[in-house]
């Protein structure tokens, strides 16, 4: 909310009131966040690679963080290819504000590599990355300065030059409270390959949930892509979805270090 206060002797002052979340909160354990995890999945989540599952359709079992007060989407795309992961990343100290400031640094997504099986090498997934004005005006704008508080909700728009899909456009929705923060990316334009639409508008959704715990941070991530059977027969969709999810996750981790 923005208020303008006029004072004849002092000119015009601007007071910004930001609805923000507290930086510190009592942390929960991994079992508190995922009470249904069995011992094997818990051990996998705590491993270096984390716990990863992939499959097609809503039959894929999903494990949603419990009791954070934030609504986690269920990869709602019908018949979509879905990738889900849980990981624990050790950090000496991390807060919701650390995560939020890492997410704001869109330009640092540029150049993060993934392994290309066709090229037999590690190549950048996003050759360029920038924030844009809106879904109507795709003019590039700079990343903002580091914030002093994380807002409860916020929406941005970004353009990513994808190694496979060229320029791709996403809406970024942020939701945060004193326990966790969620970042949701949804494509607001179709993703195309050689001028042919592969993934339609709002048919790719990636969501990352971050919650600090003692000794580090838990990252739950889920991504889904609704791809036609024709293109699904030409590319390995679960791998393509997972690579994008992993690069986005690594981008945030890098920004918190």
CA distance 204 to 142: 25
Q: Which residues contact 182 (CB under 8 A, 6 or more apart)?
A: 70, 72, 173, 174, 175, 176, 207, 208, 209, 210
Strand pairing class (126-132; 121-124): unpaired
CB atoms under 10 Å from CB of 213, counted, come to 16
CA distance 63 to 58: 12
CATH code given to domain 21-256: 3.30.530.20
Whole-number pLDDT of residue 180: 96
Q: Hey, where are the domains in the chain?
A: 21-256
User: Is residue 75 classed exposed, middle or buried when 0-12, 13-18 and 19+ CB atoms within 10 A define those classes?
Assistant: buried
* DSSP three-state, residue 99: helix
CA distance 123 to 112: 8
In 37-190 the beta strands, taken as DSSP E runs, fall at: 51-56, 81-90, 113-116, 121-124, 126-132, 140-141, 150-151, 153-162, 166-176, 181-187
Q: Nearest 5°: phi and psi at 131? A: -75, 145
Over residues 138-157, the mean pLDDT reads: 97
- pLDDT exceeds 50 at position 10: no
- Residue 153, strand partner residues: 175
Lowest mean pLDDT among 170-174, 178-182, 189-193, 226-230: 226-230
- pLDDT exceeds 70 at position 11: no
Over residues 16-31, the mean pLDDT reads: 60
Whole-number pLDDT of residue 33: 94
Structure confidence at residue 236 as a pLDDT band (50, 70, 90): confident
């Amino acid at each position: 909310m923005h208020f303008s206060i006029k004072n004849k002797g002092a000119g015009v002052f601007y007071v910004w009131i930001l609805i923000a979340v507290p930086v510190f909160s009592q942390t929960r354990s991994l079992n508190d966040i995922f009470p249904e995890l069995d011992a094997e999945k818990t051990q996998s989540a705590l491993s270096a690679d984390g716990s990863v599952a992939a499959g097609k359709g809503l039959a894929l079992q999903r494990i949603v963080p419990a009791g954070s007060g934030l609504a986690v989407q269920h990869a709602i795309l019908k018949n979509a290819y879905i990738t889900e992961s849980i990981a624990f990343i050790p950090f000496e100290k991390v807060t919701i504000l650390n995560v939020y400031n890492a997410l704001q640094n869109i330009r640092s997504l540029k150049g993060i590599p993934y392994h290309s099986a066709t090229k037999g090498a590690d190549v950048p997934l996003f050759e360029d990355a920038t924030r844009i004005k809106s879904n109507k005006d795709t003019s590039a704008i700079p990343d903002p300065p580091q914030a002093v508080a994380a807002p409860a909700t916020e929406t941005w728009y970004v353009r990513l030059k994808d190694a496979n899909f060229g320029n791709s456009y996403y809406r970024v929705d942020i939701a945060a409270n004193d326990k966790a923060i969620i970042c949701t990316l949804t494509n607001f334009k179709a993703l195309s390959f050689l001028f042919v639409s592969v993934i339609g508008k709002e048919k790719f959704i990636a969501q990352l949930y971050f919650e600090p715990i003692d000794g580090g941070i838990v990252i739950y991530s889920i991504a889904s892509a609704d791809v036609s059977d024709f293109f699904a027969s030409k590319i390995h969709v679960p791998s393509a979805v997972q690579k994008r999810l992993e690069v986005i996750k690594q981008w945030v981790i890098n920004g918190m270090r």
